[in-house]
Structure 1
Amino acid sequence: MHQLIAYFKFLLSSTNQYGVHSPFVYDYLTKCLYKKSKYRTGKTEKVLFKSISYFKCKTIWIAPANENLKQKIKKAFPFVEFNAPTYDLIYIGAPHLEEYLDIISNKTHNDAMILIDAIQKNKENMALWESYKQLEISRVTLDMFYCGVIFPRSEQVKEHFKIRI
């Protein structure tokens, strides 16, 4: 029941690319997320795979419990490395702020992307997502109901978007 109510609230407050005033986010939506996909996966995995392709990610960190996802990525993107001093993309299967805070804060760079699954699955995940948004590194955040994205982009003002995908 919680997810249904949360989804209706999300629909009332979210937008598409036309409600976005950031050129970076607009391009990400129109040239990446809203493009037709060749990937036959769930919503969050589509965001992940499309983003890897769009940003040409070379180094990716996947939370340890997602070995199956790591294999899928390696098959689709054989050039991707999973061990590096910094990462272009970090994927966290569900919000665990305390566990992954060090990786998010110290293993990313300005143009990195942090993708977090299931941000609105329950009240605890929603509270953790709110905590992620408050981090110093979180300059641009996108709530897509199924998942959330954080971009460190220090050159941009702190903004939060709710986007329908």
Structure 2
Amino acid sequence: MYFQIKAYLQFLFKSQNQHGLHSPFVYELVTKCFYDKKDHKGYHLIKNYRNDLLRNKDLIEVTDFGAGSRVFKSNLRPVFSIAKNAGVTLHRAKLLYRLTKYLKIDKALELGTSLGIASSAIGANEGTELTTIEGCPETANIARKQFEKYQLNNITLRVNEFEPELDRLVQENHKFDLIYFDGNHQKQATLNYFEKLLPASHNDSVFIFDDIHWSAGMEEAWEEIKRHPKVQVTIDTFQWGLVFFRQEQVKQHFRIRL
């Protein structure tokens, strides 16, 4: 906890809002998407989906494949607690919805479905096809029921460990406009997934990494990703790190307050 507080204070000191942004692409993204205050129709679905989970008192046994939890001491957890403590917040879910809509995402990939709150934010854009991968059968089962209940038929859920699924996607030459990394908050795993999925990106793709300031290791992974020669623009919002490959732009890194 102390590490994250220190990291957040450093972020606040170095971050900015839309003023002084010298990249037209980033300026428009921030003003028209990040700071968009309109009430979008997809918000209703996302809020209901999340509230459903917050009312669910069922106990499930969670299988952790990543860095584990700082909140839970047992793998037997109530669904509402997972939604509250491990699921994406409503504020972030709305932003993910807006990003998917603003960037006109056709095909998206998510690593780490959990209960599917972030999935619902992407899938609330009916024109987006989402493939989401979850290693834990119990949380995946809850997500699948939720997708069916909310008629999110544009979401394909794959229950498996990440490595074999990513190998298959790359071998089949899939391309994604958006990839959301939220399944393993460890340095080497994050870098491995990034490298493995680079062939699945194109010039206008965006990669979104969750919890880039989770630990010293995750911050190191983020810095390595920023230095990668294929990466042109990055945006650090503290909770998320956004990566763009737009080769027509000069290499720039931004820290944006939300």
Q: Normalization by structure 2: what TM-score? A: 0.59
Name 2:168's counterpart in structure 1: none
Name 1:153's counterpart in structure 2: 246
Between the two proteins, the alignment pairs up a number of residues equal to: 164
Per the alignment, do residues 30 and 75 of structure 1 end up closer, same or farther by CA in structure 2, a change over 3 Å counting?
same
1:58, 1:80 within 8 Å by CA — same for their partners in 2? yes
Q: Which has the higher contact order (CA 8 A, sep 6+)?
A: 1
Equivalent residue runs for 1:77-116 within 5 Å: 77-82=125-130, 85-93=174-182, 94=185, 96-103=190-197, 105-116=198-209
1:86, 1:108 within 8 Å by CA — same for their partners in 2? yes
CA shift, 1:109, in A, is 1.0
Name 1:28's counterpart in structure 2: 29
The more displaced of 152-161 and 86-95 is 86-95
One-letter amino acid of the counterpart of residue 151, structure 1 = F
Equivalent residue runs for 1:128-147 within 5 Å: 128-147=221-240
2:231, 2:243 within 8 Å by CA — same for their partners in 1? yes
CA shift, 1:97, in A, is 1.2
- The CA distance in 1 between the partners of 2:192 and 2:242, in whole Å, is 17
- The CA distance in 1 between the partners of 2:21 and 2:122, in whole Å, is 33
Percent identity for Structure 1 against Structure 2: 34
Query: Which of 95, 98, 102 is 1:50 aligned to?
Result: 98
Of the two, which has the highest radius of gyration? 2
- The CA distance in 2 between the partners of 1:31 and 1:154, in whole Å, is 22
Per the alignment, do residues 139 and 86 of structure 1 end up closer, same or farther by CA in structure 2, a change over 3 Å counting?
same
Per the alignment, do residues 65 and 156 of structure 1 end up closer, same or farther by CA in structure 2, a change over 3 Å counting?
same
Q: Normalization by structure 1: what TM-score? A: 0.89
CA offsets, 1:78-128, max 9 Å, x none? 33223582111110014611133221x111111111111100121111111
Residue ranges of structure 1 left out of the alignment (5+ in a row): none
